[in-house]
A and B are shown apart, each in its own frame.
Chain A
Amino acid sequence: MRNAPSLRRAGSPRRRKDLLFCLVLLLPAILLCTAFILIPIVDSVAMSFTGYKLANLTKGTPGVWNDFGNYTRLWRAGKLQSAVWLTLGFVSITVALTFLLSMSLALILNTDPKGARMLRSVMMIPWVIPTVIAGLLWSWIYANPYGLLRYLVSVFTSGRVTDFGILNGKSTAIWGVIIAALWKQIPLMTLLLLAGMQNVPDDILEAAQIDGAGYFTRLIHILIPYMRSVIAVTVSMCIIENFKQYPLFATLTNGGPMGATTTLAVLSYDEAFVNYNYGSGAAVTTVWLAIMAVVVLLFNLAFRRRQS
């Protein structure tokens, strides 16, 4: 991965000391991750196979194995399936749109338009605004009947649609969340893609241009292959970020209307913290975790394979 270490060549006692030193340095990070991430995860996976309710929590009694009861109950009610599809849909649409828009913006900014430096800084404002505030801000824009969006829609349809509430319709609500997510995520991805773009050697691009390659040919055959690793990293960051998305759903839709935005995140929170069925909540997060791991793995495999 990195250059062969020179320190390692030293004799064995020194190496043992290195090992010790290295361990001590790593210890806080390992401890923190183990105590606050790994153990809770293992614990929660175990909990998902038991009936674990409010009384277990208050009285400190362990849950009782219930033969996958949490999973089958969620499955029979159709909640798990719909949440899985919704999550996958939300993630893929959001990631695709974020990538497309960020790439376009990065390409434009890379041509050094007037005020590019200034644009690059103010662009980051949505990214630094806390997610809950972003949710509040968009819920005000979407508000019906006083929101800005309702008014704009009524103007653009010249008064035919006067009560448009994007979060109210079963088919439109998810788009409301997607728009807010795009708003929050485009800046960072643009910034990173732009940085990756600036590493692409100019002479190759110029040579291609002289050879008569058109803009899109250059884009697809030179620029994007050069940026492959940046794209891989930013897109997988984006996938994870959206898989984990909860605050936007919590502030904008809370899973509604009619369950149209009940993703795995919302479902697990509902089961565990609204209905106090912790085992069931844990079952949802276990499924969630498994799917996310598979998606990220598949994405990375696909990218690696094409790269080699």
Chain B
Amino acid sequence: MNRQKAARLSGSILKYAAIILLFAFLLFPVYWMLATSLKMNTESSRMVPTLFPQAVSWEGYKTLFDDGKFLVYYWNNVVVSALAAVIICVISVMAGYALSRFHFRWNVLLLATFSFSQMMPVISRLISLYTILRRLGLTDTHLGLVLAVCATQVPFCVSLMASFFDGIPKDLEEAAWVDGCGRTRTLVRIILPLIVPGLLAVSVYSFLMTWDDYLHAITLVRSPSLWTLSQGLKLTYLGEVSDWQLINAASTLGAVPMIFVFFFFQKYMVRGLVAGAVKG
């Protein structure tokens, strides 16, 4: 009995040790970013780093706000990500519904093509993407960027949406059908309200992914007034500049809203991701 107890005790010690280690790995870098953003550069450039900022300095954040450029990048990122979320919602509701309800033979082929195109490395598309957008007159516009980014999210979001539609019994539509409701009206009036969680999952996913985009923005958007956050951060603060306080302050500001968005929509997000991955 005692030995079992000891084993269980050492097991749970091991367990908590593992938790502490893994979570330190996951979370300490975030703290370090925060702490550095509050340290003067002279404090950061010490051979022995300080765990807590000795003299808290808001200089980095102040520079960012006074500068104005950072806010422009930020706002652009919000616009682009929100636009992408809206567009992807519309597209994936339509396509997801079609794939879930109508089973034609070529649907399978379509799904396969979709999931194959999800694998495409972005760089391989950049040169031609650029030419195509130029033909459409969409280079150096947010819309062009959003469409290009959305295209990469379509495969995942459509199959995610389809799995949400699968969860809704078909009797509802049949009933609406009998009542003489048209196809479009059935979709908009009856089904749409039922998949709000799916819509939230898809839009939050799309928002996060677009917020993260770097390669598309860097090739398709030129004017600094249209730069997104990742692009602006990399180009403005990582060039030949080594102001770590500023870089970390900018990073913190770029990361924090995403953390909030995630916590706020966590329930839908997790459900959506799990549904997408586990069923898809």
A positions within 8 Å CB-CB of B = 1-2, 4-8, 17-19, 21-22, 24-26, 28-30, 32-33, 35-41, 43-44, 47, 57, 101, 104-105, 108, 111, 113, 119, 121-126, 128-133, 136-138, 140-141, 143, 145-146, 148, 151, 183, 186-188, 191-192, 195-196, 199, 229-230, 233-234, 237, 240, 243-244, 246-247, 250-251, 264-265, 268-269, 272-273, 278, 281-282, 285-286, 288-289, 292-293, 296
Contact = CB atoms under 8 A, between A and B. Distances in A.
Given A38-B117, A129-B258, A272-B127, A136 B110 contact: no
Chain A interface main SS type: helix
Interface stretch (B57-65, B192-200, B260-268): B260-268
Contacts of B258: 128-130
Nearest to B44: A146
Contacts of A18: 102
Given A123-B26, A125-B27, A140-B36, A33 B113 contact: yes
Contacts of A7: 101-102, 170, 173
A131 to B, nearest CB: 6
Contacts of B270: 191, 195
Contact of A26 (B94, B166, B215, B230): B94
A196 to B, nearest CB: 6
A61 to B, nearest CB: 12
Contacts of B254: 129-130, 133
A130 B151 contact: no
B277 A233 contact: yes
Contacts of A136: 233, 237-238, 247-248, 251
B128 A44 contact: yes
Given A26-B95, A44-B124, A140-B248, A8 B103 contact: yes
B32 A36 contact: no
A251 B32 contact: no
Contacts of A268: 121, 123-124
Contact of B259 (A8, A119, A128, A191): A128
Nearest to B144: A36
A108 B147 contact: no
Given A22-B102, A25-B97, A265-B123, A140 B274 contact: no
Contact of A192 (B110, B147, B278): B278
A281 B266 CA distance: 40
Interface of B: 15-16, 18-19, 22-23, 25-27, 29-30, 32-33, 36, 44-49, 90-92, 94-95, 97-104, 108, 110, 113-114, 116-129, 131-132, 147-148, 150-152, 154-155, 158, 166, 170, 173-174, 183-184, 208, 211-212, 214-215, 219, 229-230, 233-234, 237-238, 244, 247-248, 251, 254-255, 258-259, 261-263, 266, 270, 273-274, 277-278, 280
B26 A126 contact: yes
B207 to A, nearest CB: 10
27 contacts: A2-B103, A5-B102, A29-B114, A29-B154, A36-B132, A37-B117, A39-B128, A40-B125, A40-B132, A41-B124, A41-B128, A101-B22, A104-B22, A128-B255, A129-B30, A130-B258, A133-B251, A140-B247, A141-B32, A146-B44, A146-B46, A191-B270, A230-B277, A272-B126, A272-B127, A285-B124, A293-B116
A117 B26 CA distance: 16
A174 B216 CA distance: 25
A269 B123 contact: yes
Contact of A36 (B123, B148, B251): B148
B121 to A, nearest CB: 5
Contacts of B127: 40, 43-44, 47, 57, 272, 278, 281-282
**Interface of chain B, helix or strand or loop or mixed?**
helix
Given A40-B128, A140-B33, A293-B119, 14 more contacts: A17-B183, A22-B101, A29-B114, A32-B150, A33-B117, A36-B125, A41-B125, A43-B127, A123-B23, A130-B230, A131-B212, A133-B251, A137-B251, A234-B277
B123 A126 contact: no
B255 A141 contact: no
A152 B16 CA distance: 23
A171 to B, nearest CB: 22
- Identify the 5 closest CB pairs spanning chains A and B, nearest first: A285-B124, A36-B151, A43-B128, A40-B125, A40-B128
A106 to B, nearest CB: 11
B45 A146 contact: yes
A40 B263 contact: no
Given A36-B125, A44-B128, A108-B15, A133 B233 contact: yes
A106 B239 CA distance: 39
Nearest to A2: B166
Nearest to A247: B214
Which of B92, B151, B233, B258 gathers most chain A CB within 10 Å?
Answer: B151
Given A32-B147, A289-B120, A146 B49 contact: yes
Contacts of B154: 29, 32-33
B27 A122 contact: yes
A22 B104 contact: yes
Among B26, B91, B101, max chain A CB count under 10 A is at: B26
B244 A105 contact: no
B272 to A, nearest CB: 11
Contacts of A230: 277-278
